[in-house]
Amino acid sequence: MYRSNNVAARIFDRQIATPPPGTSFHCVRRFYENIVPNHTVYDVECPDHSFRKFTVDGQYLITFSRNHRDLNVYRPKWLSFSYKGDEIDTFLDFPSNAQKFESFFNLIYSVSLASCNELICKDFFIYMESNRFGLFATSTAQIQDAPAVGGAVPGIPSIDKITFHLLRLEDGEILDAKVFVNDFVNLAHNTGVFLYDDLLAIVSVRYQIIHILQIRDSGHLVDVRALGAFCREDDELFLHSSTQYVGVAERSRLLAGDVENGYHHSPSNDNSFLSGLKQRLLSFIFRRIGNEETDHRLRVQCLAKNFYFHFQDYIDLIIWKVQFLDRRHLLLKLGSVDGWVSRMADHHRAFFAVYDMETTEIVAFFQNSTDDIYFLFERFCNHFHAASRNSLCLNFISSHSNNIHAQEQLRSLKNKAVSYSQFVKKMLVSLS
């Protein structure tokens, strides 16, 4: 079928013609085949800002002031200049204001986010397209050698104050804020925060807590649950009520017996129990290894070799990153403290676990060098990065899951890899 290269004719055809069933997104893609950049304007006079990114819908340009205290939001003016002819020399006829930033963008507003000794994290920004909300973060400086108190993980830095600001990008009104004190959330490139529909997952690496929040249509951040020490909402209440059955005299007798035997215990020990997530992970690994053998003798040997021998390694695992697979399942990336601190994290052994928030169970556990998780990533790559179950952007993303050219490129990289396990690790770095 003949297709005109005239833009006006194609726009008119798009309005009156109905594409064949199942080809609507292909027709939308094809519309832009003759609308391509063919000239670059250099030496544009830009404001002294740190440019972050455009929003997904292209309606806003997010920038920060150089002192990282103010948020500046611009709106594109879209088509501002035009010319006739195909020769490159015709670009010399552009007006002088084509070299100015203000000719292409309008400043909507400027909002001061940081206060006192806080600074805006220039690498962090999350956009909620449905309500056009923007989530920004401000924080104080990191304390690298902070003492591990209150159940904190040793070796993890601390930040005195981290504030998440929810703004309405239309007018810059701050709708709500969430503050974390003496904690650590990896804000670089949105690593420690993941948005799925209206659900927000924030990972406290220092205290190993996954905070699940909901962004309401009214613009409020509502706490849904906190996963870590407790998995169900009534776990803490149940544990506190169970301790009431232990009488004071019985506890005194136990403590006296321990002293006679040479053991001196502190009356309160915050590390007496593993966290709820860690207990569920250990039980899943134990059951999975035990079910591999039917013979009792071989099962005991298998558990001794693959579970008890690595028991302390499993205990020392910490949550690096978290992302939603859907509204019910979380994908957890776990590893050692050394691997998280190291800049070469892909060289350290890491694991992936799938957690069901409704049943509070671990339903899958993989090492980052195994074929199982890689095959899933290779076949369903886009689903690991979708921000919503109804996201239309899935239809426009080209990856090795839906594009034959990307598949061929991936196959070429796989064939050139010296070590297959290292290739799998590098490919899975982007997961979670």
Where exactly are the structural domains of the chain? 1-36, 49-227, 316-430
* pLDDT value of residue 235: 81
SS3 sequence, 234-268? CHHHHHHHHHCCCCHHHHHHHHHHHHHCCCCCCCC
* pLDDT value of residue 269: 41
Taken in order 225, 227, 233, 236, the sign of the CA dihedral is negative
pLDDT in tens, 70-120: 999 999 987 666 666 555 555 556 677 777 888 889 999 999 999 889 999
Exposed/middle/buried for 323, CB within 10 Å: 0-12, 13-18, 19+?
Answer: buried
Low-confidence winner among 24-33, 72-81, 223-232, 406-415 (lowest mean pLDDT) = 24-33
Asked if the model's pLDDT at residue 229 lies above 70, the reply is yes
* pLDDT value of residue 232: 86
**Mean pLDDT confidence for 130-140:** 93
**Which position has the higher pLDDT, 95 or 266?**
95
Asked if the model's pLDDT at residue 34 lies above 80, the reply is no
* pLDDT value of residue 423: 82
**Mean pLDDT confidence for 55-84:** 86
**Which position has the higher pLDDT, 403 or 247?**
403
pLDDT in tens, 375-389: 888 887 777 766 655
Q: Measuring CA to CA, which residue among 153, 143, 150, 144 is closest to residue 336? A: 153
* pLDDT value of residue 258: 47
* pLDDT value of residue 267: 37
Residue-averaged pLDDT of the chain? 82
Asked if the model's pLDDT at residue 131 lies above 90, the reply is no
- Cβ–Cβ contacts within 10 Å for residue 11, how many? 10
**Which position has the higher pLDDT, 29 or 317?**
317
**Which position has the higher pLDDT, 206 or 403?**
206
Token pair 């909620």: residue: 128
Pairing mode, strands 209-215 and 199-204: antiparallel
* pLDDT value of residue 201: 96
pLDDT in tens, 137-194: 999 999 988 888 888 999 899 999 999 999 999 999 999 999 999 999 999 989 999 9
* pLDDT value of residue 255: 45
For residue 200, name the pLDDT band (cuts at 50, 70, 90): very high
* Highest-scoring range by mean pLDDT, 24-38, 247-261, 343-357: 343-357
Asked if the model's pLDDT at residue 247 lies above 60, the reply is no
* pLDDT value of residue 210: 96
**Which position has the higher pLDDT, 415 or 361?**
361
**Mean pLDDT confidence for 340-344:** 68
How far apart, in Å, are the Cα atoms of 325 and each of 107, 152, 194, 236?
37, 27, 11, 27
For residue 35, name the pLDDT band (cuts at 50, 70, 90): low
From CA 157, how far away is CA 148, in angstroms rounded? 9
From CA 204, how far away is CA 345, in angstroms rounded? 18
* Cα dihedral: 241, 243, 245, 249 (round 10): -150
Asked if the model's pLDDT at residue 240 lies above 60, the reply is yes
Residue type, 215: I
How far apart, in Å, are the Cα atoms of 259 and each of 219, 248, 266, 267?
56, 17, 11, 12
**Mean pLDDT confidence for 297-319:** 92
* pLDDT value of residue 136: 97
- Cβ–Cβ contacts within 10 Å for residue 159, how many? 20
Asked if the model's pLDDT at residue 253 lies above 60, the reply is no
From CA 432, how far away is CA 320, in angstroms rounded? 9
Instruction: Identify the helix (H) or strand (E) that includes residue 362.
Output: strand 361-367
pTM, to two decimals: 0.82
**Which position has the higher pLDDT, 410 or 215?**
215
Asked if the model's pLDDT at residue 68 lies above 90, the reply is yes
